[in-house]
Amino acid sequence: MHQSIEFLIRHGSWVLFLWILVEQLGAPVPSAPMLLAAGALIGLNHTSFAQAIAVVLAACSIADLSWYTLGRRRGNSVLRLLCRISLEPDSCVSTTEDRFRRLGVWSLVIAKFVPGLGALAAPMAGLSRMPILRFLWADYLGVILWSTVYLSIGYVFRAQLEDAGIFIGRLGGSLFTFVFLLASLWIGLKVWNRKRVLRRLRIARLTPEEVAERLSEFVILDLRSRAELEQEGLGLPGAIWFDRHDLAARHLEIPRDRDILLYCSCPNEATSARVALELQKVGIQRVRPLEGGYHGWRKLGLPVEPIAQVERR
């Protein structure tokens, strides 16, 4: 058997532990290839399901508890950091808070299956002050389900994975090379997709300085989540809050006599850009996102006031 496969058999638990830990701490490396490889080793009787799941659970516990604690102590700043480094273009504070608010504790159970939610669910649980015991049982259940699915796929298709590893070994590579190539391909596709989406959403933005000089010329729409508003209750002067999911249906309530300015709390103003595209489809053409969003505005020390018309369901 190829030397690297022997190494993986001998040290597979540590390799799996470190790989999952690094990925769950936020590094842009996919865990699926390593879980599939571990599943193949289970099928070849070199480890067991229980041992593999225990290793994954230990790695995820360290990472998720760390993010939970940081979310509890540092709040939205941690979410914004993760959104900025995420390879998922839809990962932003508002999107995560909306999903978490709708699903509650079950968002932790499904988080690792949902692009953009996996890395953000734990700090969001901390930010929302979820009790630690409730967080732990939901997080552990999610980890067990997630790891079981991928380990089972690797177990079922172990022959194909072993053949692929041997084939690459004959070419002068190794099973590690095979896993590395899969990981590189996954990362490459994610990076390409992120750039594609952000390029498509690149609408001409207005700087905070430009807006501050012409504040009365805009109808200003606040697109942040309800949870963010409840934390501080402040927004740009004259801003109106809408649930961004209702904008397409309620667009007739938006004044048409001035330019529309949108702002959110997402890196790259992703939410604002998406909503701008949606509003243009329903005939509102004079719409622009605020560069840097709400946090860019606050960073410059520009004025804020209690937000207007925060409607509650």
Number of domain units in the chain: 2
In a domain, 267, yes or no: yes
Question: Do 234 and 136 reside in the same domain of the chain?
Answer: no
Question: Do 255 and 299 reside in the same domain of the chain?
Answer: yes
Residue type (1 letter), 139:
D
Question: Do 153 and 254 reside in the same domain of the chain?
Answer: no
Domain that includes residue 87, residue range: 3-200
Kindly report, residue by residue over 32-53, the tens digit of the pLDDT: 778 888 888 888 787 888 999 9
In a domain, 278, yes or no: yes
Question: Do 117 and 14 reside in the same domain of the chain?
Answer: yes
Question: Do 123 and 192 reside in the same domain of the chain?
Answer: yes
Question: Do 172 and 251 reside in the same domain of the chain?
Answer: no
Residue type (1 letter), 91:
S
In a domain, 313, yes or no: no
And the tokens for 99?
């999903």
End of a domain among 166, 183, 200? 200
Q: H-type helices in the chain, by residue range?
A: 3-24, 32-43, 49-74, 76-85, 93-103, 106-110, 118-127, 132-156, 158-170, 175-200, 208-213, 226-232, 270-281, 293-299
Kindly report, residue by residue over 220-277, the tens digit of the pLDDT: 988 887 767 777 788 899 898 877 777 767 778 787 778 889 888 765 666 777 777 7
CATH code of the domain covering residue 270: 3.40.250.10
Q: What is the pLDDT along the chain (313 residues), one digit of tens a residue?
A: 344 445 556 667 888 898 899 888 877 677 877 888 888 888 878 788 899 999 999 999 999 999 898 888 876 666 666 665 554 444 455 566 666 667 777 888 888 887 656 677 888 888 778 899 999 999 999 999 999 999 998 888 776 655 555 544 554 445 555 556 666 676 666 666 656 655 655 556 788 999 999 888 898 988 887 767 777 788 899 898 877 777 767 778 787 778 889 888 765 666 777 777 778 777 787 888 888 888 889 889 999 998 865 454 4
pTM of the shown model = 0.55
End of a domain among 169, 200, 231? 200
Question: Do 91 and 175 reside in the same domain of the chain?
Answer: yes
Contacts of 4 (CB under 8 A, 6+ apart): 169, 174, 175, 176, 177
In a domain, 116, yes or no: yes
In a domain, 312, yes or no: no
Question: Do 191 and 286 reside in the same domain of the chain?
Answer: no
In a domain, 311, yes or no: no
